[in-house]
Homo-oligomer: A and B are copies of this chain.
Amino acid sequence: MADETREKLVQGTLRDLTPLLSPRSIAVVGATPDPYRVGGRPLSFLKRFEFPGPIYPINPKYEEVQGIKCYSSVLDIPQQVDMAVVAVPAARVLDVLRECQSAGIPSLTVYTSGFSEMGAEGRKLEKELKTVALEKGTLICGPNCQGVANLNDRMVANFSSTLLRDNISAGSIGFVGQSGLFTGIVAAECHRRGLGLGYLNSTGNESVVDFCDMIAHMSADPRIKVVAGYMEGIRDGAKLKTALRVARKHNTPVVLLKVGRNEQSAKAAASHTGSLAGSYEIYQAAFRQWGVVEANDISELFDLIELFSSSPCLSKGERVGILTNSGGVGVFCADQLGSLGLRLASLEDTTKAGIASKLPAFGSAENPVDFTLQALTDARAIGSHLSYMIRDENVDAVFLFLGVQMLNLRELVREVVGANKINEKPIVVSWMLGDASVPPEFWKAGIPCFEDPLRGLKALKALKFVSGTLEYGKPLKVVQSAVQMLDDLAGKGHCQLGEQQSREILKLLGIPVARGEVVESSASARAVAEKIGLPVVMKVESNDIGHKTDVDGVRLDVKTLAEVELEYDAMVSTVKQRVPEALIEGIGVYEMLPKAVELIAGIKRDPVFGPVVLLGTGGVMVEIFKDAVVRVAPISDEDAWGMISELKSLPLLKGERGYDRADLAAVAALLVSISDFAQTAGSLNELDINPLMVYREGQGVCAADALLSLKN
């Protein structure tokens, strides 16, 4: 566990990848003459891409490899080397690492397979590799990776065959993949689309350098306009957040395709690179909270890369104006908006009148606007429609569809480009099956252009999403008394708090709980019931019992004091009989709370992202509908309101269907409060308030039942 402890110390800390990704000199350990084999590729690629620094092939078998002087060992190299590419058998890698360390080489890219992806033996070898690397702070990319490339610096140490293609150009896209072949696919697609690649990095088993390090490093490079990644899983959510903060600071959008979204496929992903599985829902929440643009499939990833590499204008809202030369496609687009989080703009009357004034009689000036065949003969009218729409206060972005357009091309481009300069709202074009010379002109003018209209709409969604994300960071409220109490209990070895203790903590956090207390005799039970008023709820108090109802340890609606006394004795004896091994600390006597909307609120702990805030609709029936929302802690007020607004039961909470409007502000405050607590109380494991009674606006909330567990 030694290396894991060490790892924890650097949790959330990014590594400086300069020696790895901008080396001034490179050694290739295991260099071979055949440029088509893995051992021969690095040399051949470095030469082909004209790496400007010295290259040192290392192979005791050769005097010279591919025309370059060859050394027997890295220890023989006369100058400083920044990075070593390692392509030797697995059994040799550890020795090579030690030699590199002796030679003062700060970074390695290890192609070699046969580590943690290959069973227990391999895992042991990789652990050793990692331990040795961390001792000296050596960066290792891999093992079991396709390598790294920084094309702007002409450093290509990635052996993907795609890089054999002609005219691979350097550019503004930074890519990192947790799958080697996927990296090659991205390179091939960028090549086909004529997009320049800045980085092409594959992280393999991530023994030292990981996905997050790569994201941060690439996004801080001023030559990079978009960072994209193919992600199977990460080990440290906090580190991802730190990396994304770097990206945000540099205004670099980050586009990720996350795979392993269900249990079965996550298992496949984990076996592929040995990453932690984690829950996809929490990844999704983290992406939204931290401003990642998530791609849902491979083509969408490509489109988003292309989109953001053009530094597009962002959209401030979700209201879309649609202009088409096909009424049918206009309707299709209107269909799609909702599921993309966009909506059809309601055009101002002046806009409609303006458009109508330039429209043929059979066109429609309602959004979606159908200008029929007008683009064939009157490009100026299209320009006029566009400018009316883009000036409309109710429109955040404009979508222009032109299908099978073969005439009037230069005039149309001129008009659209002209309209695009009117203000800061994005215009996205779908140019479908028309003359192929047009799309590059739109891109050149900063107007995103996709063939399929759905792809164009998805681009619009991304433009809105990015501008809509929140800033990071907010001050945490520390309730020292609650943290202290929890730490004390943890110190005493507690794992699971009883209801009494759990309620204490909530009270310290300022969360209302049902009145009452735990008593140890029927007489005290009667006294408490008398004090708080009838009817009452009675529950057995025991740290050894998880589900009290299962052992007859809960009685609702006890109506008389006599019943309270009787019930005390009855419950103690029943529970003793049912679970003789349980230590019964007493019976809790609590007020019977008035009816209300019931929610569930709590904290779960995710292996990757740490404490996670959960909100759901309560009740058995609703459990079936999986009406729950998560966010990674800590959350802001806006996050809390966002969670509430995502509940499917929102209409009820807002007071529809005969319900009262619920006290949503109190729910939001509670969520922030437990989130801050989770973030500041290191000994908290999980917290579960079920049900949380939510009363009408202004009347607050009340925890009917609460359970806390500790990290131990």
Contacts and interface: CB of A to CB of B under 8 A. Distances in A.
A583 interface: no
A113 interface: yes
Nearest to A260: B331
9 contacts: A179-B327, A181-B403, A181-B404, A185-B432, A259-B328, A259-B335, A268-B331, A269-B328, A297-B332
A328 B232 contact: yes
Contacts of A452: 297-299
Interface in A16-71: none
Contacts of A104: none
Nearest to A162: B404
A570 interface: no
B329 A179 contact: yes
Nearest to A653: B624
Contacts of A481: none
Nearest to A376: B161
Contacts of A532: none
Contacts of A362: 113-114, 117-118, 144
A649 B619 CA distance: 13
A325 B180 CA distance: 10
Given A264-B334, A370-B272, A403-B181, A328 B118 contact: no
A162 B144 CA distance: 51
Interface in A333-348: 334-336, 338, 344
A58 to B, nearest CB: 24
A328 B181 contact: yes
Interface in A256-303: 257, 259-262, 264-265, 268-269, 271-273, 297-299
Nearest to A160: B404
Interface in A164-203: 177-182, 184-185, 188-189, 192
Given A179-B327, A404-B161, A657-B620, A261 B298 contact: no
B182 A329 contact: yes
Interface residues of A, number: 79
A627 interface: yes
Report the 10 A-B pairs with minimum CB-CB distance, sorted nearest first.
A179-B328, A265-B334, A181-B326, A188-B433, A272-B327, A261-B335, A182-B328, A259-B331, A269-B331, A259-B332
Nearest to A269: B331
A651 interface: yes
A299 B454 contact: yes
A289 to B, nearest CB: 22
Interface in A216-263: 230, 232, 257, 259-262
Given A259-B332, A453-B298, A181 B118 contact: no
Contacts of A403: 181-182, 184-185
Interface string A575-613: 000000000000000000000000000000000000000
Interface string A376-405: 000000000000000000000000000110
Interface string A627-662: 100000000000000000000110110000110000
Contact of A625 (B178, B262, B627): B627
A45 B620 CA distance: 66
A326 B180 CA distance: 8
A338 B652 contact: no
Contacts of A269: 328, 331
Interface in A358-378: 361-362, 364, 366, 368, 370, 372
B259 A404 contact: no
Contact of A335 (B262, B454, B619, B651): B262
Contacts of A180: 326
A330 interface: yes
A91 interface: no
